[in-house]
Amino acid sequence: MSRDPVEKVVALIAQRVLDGGAKVLVVSKDPEQRNTISRELWSAGPESFLANGEIADSEADRQPVLLSATCDAANGASHVIFADGEYREPEGFERAFLLFDDATVQSARMTWKSLDGGHGLERSFFRQDGGKWVKVA
Query: d(Cα 34, Cα 44) in Å, to the nearest integer?
Result: 15
- Banded model confidence at residue 17, pLDDT cuts 50, 70, 90: very high
pLDDT digits (tens, 9 = 90+) for 70-103: 999 999 999 999 999 899 988 889 999 988 877 8
The per-residue pLDDT for 46 is 61
CATH number at residue 46: 3.40.50.10110
Asked if residue 122 is part of any domain, the answer here is yes
Return the pLDDT at 1. Answer: 47
Higher-scoring residue by pLDDT: 70, 117: 70
Structural domain for 116, as ranges:
6-132
Angle between helices 31-42 and 6-19 (to 10 degrees): 60
What pLDDT score was predicted for residue 43? 82
Report the distance separating Cα 100 and Cα 47, nearest Å.
Answer: 29
Residue 117 has pLDDT above 80, yes or no: no
pTM equals: 0.87
Assigned domain for 58 exists: yes
Question: What pLDDT digit, counting tens, does each position of 18-54 carry?
Answer: 999 999 999 999 999 999 999 999 886 566 678 888 9
- Examine residue 1 and state whether it is found in any structural domain, yes or no: no
The number of distinct structural domains making up the chain is 1
What residues pair up with 25 in beta bridges, in sequence order?
A: 66, 80
